Amino acid sequence: MTIDWTRILPVLVSIGVIIAVAVLRQYSKTIAAIAAVMPINIPLTMWIVYSSAEPELKQASLNSFTTELTINLLPTFIFTLVAWQMVKAGYGLLPAIAAGYLAWAIGLGLIFFVRNQMNAAA
């Protein structure tokens, strides 16, 4: 039996990050916040995309994937901004997270809408 590290490694790294944030927040909220937003899953998914592509398509696959990553980070940034503003306005954790996810979903929907419009025009 062989271990499929492409499936297990992202889970192990995610667990490690959660534990690191839980420990680091006791010492420094800044360091905990940096650990929370470290690009951990991005390199892992880039590795998965690269290693699963045919040899002659590796660079093109990686290029396409990183382009999509860049575009799809925008709704995540919007999530963070909305959650931050909700907390600044005095709302608690759950309303801040809910509003953040609503803004994220709207941002993601807008990206899909723009892609569909561009594909329809092409």
Q: What are phi and psi of 115, to 5 degrees?
A: -60, -45
- Token digits of residue 61: 């696959």
Q: What is the DSSP letter of 4?
A: -
Indicate the domain borders of the chain.
1-52, 57-122
Close Cβ partners of 81 (under 8 Å, ≥ 6 residues apart): 103
**pTM of this structure:** 0.74
Task: Give the DSSP H/E element, type plus range, for residue 54.
Answer: none
pLDDT for 5-57, tens place per residue?
A: 777 877 888 888 888 888 888 888 888 888 778 887 788 888 888 888 899 99
